[in-house]
Structure 1
Amino acid sequence: MEKTPLNLFKQKHMMSREIPASPFMKKLGYGTGICVYLLPNKLKRNQTASPWAVKKTLKLKHDTTMYGKRLDFEAEVLRRLTHRNIVEFKAYEMSQDGRFNLCMEACSMSLGDLLEKRYEDKLGPLEVFKINTLGLDISKALNYLHNEVLMMHGDMKSFNILIKGNFGICKLCDFGVSLKVKKDGLLDFDKDPKAHYVGTDLWSAPEIFEEDSTLISTKSEIFSFGLVFYECLTCVPPNTLEMMDKKALDFDDVACEEIEEIEDEEDEGPIYGIRPPFPEDMKLSEDYNDILHIFNICTDDDPEQRPDARKLENIFNELNIIVID
């Protein structure tokens, strides 16, 4: 993997800001090996600008960590992407604590965090118009990636979808494990012979768990996207309802890694790569019928039967959604 140039941010002609050390910024969220902070819109000479989200690794030895290399890779990928429904690259530079920072536009929150709060507050399924907005916006982003850029996001899930305002716009983020694909949607091993799908098991398609990596394609990402609709309806990660009941866990205790560890320890059969069942007592109005249909076709066992991103975009366009600006 080529090392990302340190002056990468200059290539986007963005105004640089002084990045303070982590303790002086508000924490927005975190993931395995990384943390995201808020950089306020404070510039010199009374200039104004929107706040940035600053993503950095948790360890100082950036270049020697897997997550540091992923951050380098993500910065290189993100700066080349230009789409309304993909989080905007701002800069990539070193902060006062000696760590590199990937600076992006700041959004209100992730879909995963929003659904977690809905679960805790017992608010039920996400409203139909919000799911339709999400579906159209992310379908557009995937269509752009799959058919123009020839790339898979590589880790489609609710926590990698950002929301601005009250679903005014939804954006795809976190490109640290993205993969190059060919025009037919299959992984491009000619450009990257060591291509390896990382993703997150709970959201992965059945073919991901096969030994033949040539089966992995953009249709695998459509399966993962289908599971995001499941999350919108149940407000929990896919294939975790039974585990939560069995262990009597609150949602806060059910990190994806913990669920995977529990499943490995009990060895009661796979909970990955399947279409998850809905709760038996769950009742949805007819307004959700289109969403249920989309969920079903996206999570078909046969990749050939799943719609591609372009088809999904057309479907959501035909639903006559109401977008809140």
Structure 2
Amino acid sequence: MAAILVLGFVSILFWSEGAKAESIGEKQALLAFLNQIPHEKRLQWNESDSACNWVGVECNPNRSSVYSLRLPGTGLVGEIPSGSLGRLSQLRVLSLRSNRLSGQIPPDFSNLTHLRSLYLQHNEFSGGFPATITQLSGLIRLDISSNNFTGSLPFSLNNLTHLTGLFLGNNRFSGNLPSISLHLTDFNVSHNNLNGSIPSSLSRFPAASFAGNIDLCGGPLKPCNPFFVSPSPSPSSLNPSRFSRKKSKLSTAAIVAISVACALVGLLLLALLFFLCLRSKDAGTKQRKPAADVPAAIASSSKEEATGTSSGMGGEAERNKLVFTEGGVYSFDLEDLLRASAEVLGKGSVGTSYKAVLEEGTTVVVKRLKDVLASKKEFEAQMDIVGKIKHPNVVPLRAYYYSKDEKLLVFDYMPTGSLSALLHGSRGSGRTPLDWDNRMRIAITAARGLAHLHVSAKLVHGNIKASNILLHPNQDTYVSDYGLNQLFSNSTPPNRLAGYHAPEVLETRKVTFKSDVYSFGVLLLELLTGKSPNQASLGEEGIDLPRWVLSVVREEWTAEVFDVELMRYHNIEEEMVQLLQIAMACVSTVPDQRPVMQEVLRMMEDVNRSETTDDGLRQSSDDPSKGSEGQTPPGESRTPPRSVTP
């Protein structure tokens, strides 16, 4: 028995030393990559610190290996050095998109056998389709669009048997499309030089997936021409004498009639052209705002101020420039922002958000505010307060712009999206359920951000809702859209917080710390029930989410109130009931009976004490082979919640 214990101890010691050595090797690989490739000094990797703490680097739970490397838009230039990233053998997610990387993919990428997601879009890679990639049979998502790849697409793409998303658009691939018999859900080869017919295995995708390949046909595109040619005309049909006999002279009257008709047609065309010019001039006076770019109105109303070209307005132009907050990480100006390509992310109660990709590759979110009533002095004072807030669970304000016609805010881009999209989007088959541990992680990290706003910044959020809770891939959260309420008026329209507003907000039209707690309580109920806090999702007219939960609980305290997606997990009923009790305390109709935010956070952390990691949060499974972006429900080792008495 003693020998077995000694042997076990030696094995554990050997394993731990191996893990440590492996971690050191991967740290050296990351440093080799950063030291050998030019970049814009945005990555401040401290060699004396653990690589798991570096920006863009995520490790597995025991910190023995690098699990994810995300360096989008960090100004990386040139070829990926061989012998660097290829040594990260346990890597699951690699994102180097929106840089200026060039050359070919290093051969040692074939070592990344655990890779599930590879994002290399918007770079300058060249050469043929990387043969190394076709060896990564575990890939689920592959995006190498918007590069300079050439040559034909290999049939060996069929080796990627787990692939569900393949994005090859905006390159220079040529030749025929191979027959790809994968279970793809997303596919795009648009704007290449492909030709021939679309294979039947790919014909189910829309025309947009193949657009921009002028010699491609079949499937959703135009039918292909037949392979046989029309018979040649007989020699007799080309006999000049036979043709001349069929000619006849036109009479003088016919010639006059044709001339008059041509003159009339010419006059009509001139009149039509004159009408179109007038219409275009009228339309030009209206400021049209395209959704595909940063709004044209911003450019038109801001360009003179940004460049200082308007006569006598040099001082005003200087005052109306893009203002960066303390500790900023960006170095662009308003002109760069106006030139950026952009897409609408969403339209909210305070304005429209755009994803803007600048020419040098940086991606930011630009929020264009509407109905701002604050003066310039009041606006700048509030932005100064908001810009000083720094917390791991709060989205930092990076810059702002104020002019008479436009008010813009610039934030970091969060590619994982919002809690609202994760919780309510695509609830059909194929959806990866949001497990209990990750719901607790989301709730606690959001509470930490909100408690920081209340306690340290003394700032009321004023607009708490699921779409303003943004997600990190590890399910930590970022609170966004905070501190903007004062910019609009002393009265908050009821529809601004529809579904989340506290009862007193409808009467006083003012948000407070206590009304923030109420809104957060609704957010907890949303996580617990899986229901959006609007009447349509509750199936009953005139009832909100807190009253719906209370009506179910009053009849009998059962599992019916909880999200059906939580039924698959075991031994969590006690924690769910405890979190439900916290949520119901937050949504008390009497403001003074609600706990303060720091007390809400403490109670939630007490519920989550068991099985926690160093940051006080339980760690969920991180295998992305069973779901998108690495979120996999833990094994079903807990029994479904039963009827519980409080």
Q: CA deviation at 1:179?
A: 5.4
Q: What fraction of aligned residue pairs are identical, expressed as a percent?
A: 22
Q: TM-score, normalised by structure 1?
A: 0.67
Q: CA deviation at 1:123?
A: 5.5
Q: CA deviation at 1:28?
A: 2.4
The answer to whether the 8 Å contact 2:546/2:584 transfers is no
SS at match of 1:202: coil
The answer to whether the 8 Å contact 1:27/1:35 transfers is yes
SS at match of 1:56: strand
Q: How has the CA–CA distance of structure 1 residues 160 and 68 changed in structure 2, closer, same or farther, with 3 Å as cutoff?
A: farther
Between the aligned partners of 2:509 and 2:320, the Cα distance in structure 1 is 37
Q: Match for 2:351 among 19, 34, 41?
A: 34
Give unmatched runs, 5+ long, in structure 2: 1-318, 553-558, 610-616, 623-646
1:160 paired residue number? 468
1:230 paired residue number? 525
Q: How has the CA–CA distance of structure 1 residues 179 and 67 changed in structure 2, closer, same or farther, with 3 Å as cutoff?
A: closer
Q: CA deviation at 1:119?
A: 3.6
Q: How has the CA–CA distance of structure 1 residues 308 and 179 changed in structure 2, closer, same or farther, with 3 Å as cutoff?
A: farther
- Deviation track 1:30-50 (CA, whole Å, cap 9, x = no partner) reads 22463222233753xxxx86x
Q: Match for 1:53 among 351, 365, 368?
A: 365
The AA in structure 2 aligned to 1:178 is N
Q: Match for 1:292 among 565, 580, 583?
A: 580
Structure-to-structure mapping, 1:167-316, within 5 angstroms: 167=475, 169-175=476-482, 177-178=484-485, 195-198=490-493, 199-210=496-507, 217-241=512-536, 245=539, 270-271=542-543, 274-277=546-549, 280=560, 284=567, 286=573, 287-316=575-604
1:82 paired residue number? 390
The AA in structure 1 aligned to 2:320 is L
Q: How has the CA–CA distance of structure 1 residues 82 and 311 changed in structure 2, closer, same or farther, with 3 Å as cutoff?
A: same
The aligned length equals 268
Between the aligned partners of 2:420 and 2:537, the Cα distance in structure 1 is 19
Q: How has the CA–CA distance of structure 1 residues 33 and 134 changed in structure 2, closer, same or farther, with 3 Å as cutoff?
A: closer
Root-mean-square deviation over aligned CA pairs: 3.8
Q: How has the CA–CA distance of structure 1 residues 240 and 203 changed in structure 2, closer, same or farther, with 3 Å as cutoff?
A: same
The answer to whether the 8 Å contact 1:78/1:89 transfers is yes
Q: How has the CA–CA distance of structure 1 residues 151 and 163 changed in structure 2, closer, same or farther, with 3 Å as cutoff?
A: same
Q: How has the CA–CA distance of structure 1 residues 281 and 67 changed in structure 2, closer, same or farther, with 3 Å as cutoff?
A: same
Instruction: Indicate the larger mover: 278-287 or 76-85.
Output: 278-287
Q: How has the CA–CA distance of structure 1 residues 70 and 296 changed in structure 2, closer, same or farther, with 3 Å as cutoff?
A: farther
The answer to whether the 8 Å contact 1:90/1:105 transfers is yes
The AA in structure 2 aligned to 1:110 is S
The AA in structure 1 aligned to 2:326 is K
Answer yes or no: is 1:104 the counterpart of 2:422: no
Q: TM-score, normalised by structure 2?
A: 0.36
- Deviation track 1:45-65 (CA, whole Å, cap 9, x = no partner) reads xxx86x3212225xxxxxxx5
Between the aligned partners of 1:225 and 1:70, the Cα distance in structure 2 is 30
SS at match of 2:353: strand
The answer to whether the 8 Å contact 2:525/2:583 transfers is yes
1:19 paired residue number? 337
Between the aligned partners of 1:118 and 1:290, the Cα distance in structure 2 is 28
Between the aligned partners of 2:448 and 2:366, the Cα distance in structure 1 is 25
Q: How has the CA–CA distance of structure 1 residues 221 and 120 changed in structure 2, closer, same or farther, with 3 Å as cutoff?
A: farther
Give unmatched runs, 5+ long, in structure 1: 58-64, 181-193, 247-267
Q: CA deviation at 1:176?
A: 5.7
Q: How has the CA–CA distance of structure 1 residues 114 and 218 changed in structure 2, closer, same or farther, with 3 Å as cutoff?
A: same
Between the aligned partners of 2:521 and 2:429, the Cα distance in structure 1 is 24
- Deviation track 1:116-147 (CA, whole Å, cap 9, x = no partner) reads 21545596974222222122222222222222
Q: CA deviation at 1:90?
A: 1.4
The answer to whether the 8 Å contact 2:446/2:478 transfers is yes
SS at match of 2:367: strand
The answer to whether the 8 Å contact 2:325/2:388 transfers is no
Q: CA deviation at 1:293?
A: 2.1
SS at match of 2:392: coil
Between the aligned partners of 1:219 and 1:109, the Cα distance in structure 2 is 27
Q: CA deviation at 1:172?
A: 0.9
Between the aligned partners of 1:75 and 1:21, the Cα distance in structure 2 is 24
Instruction: Indicate the larger mover: 24-33 or 141-150.
Output: 24-33
Q: CA deviation at 1:280?
A: 4.9
Between the aligned partners of 1:206 and 1:159, the Cα distance in structure 2 is 21
Larger Rg: 2
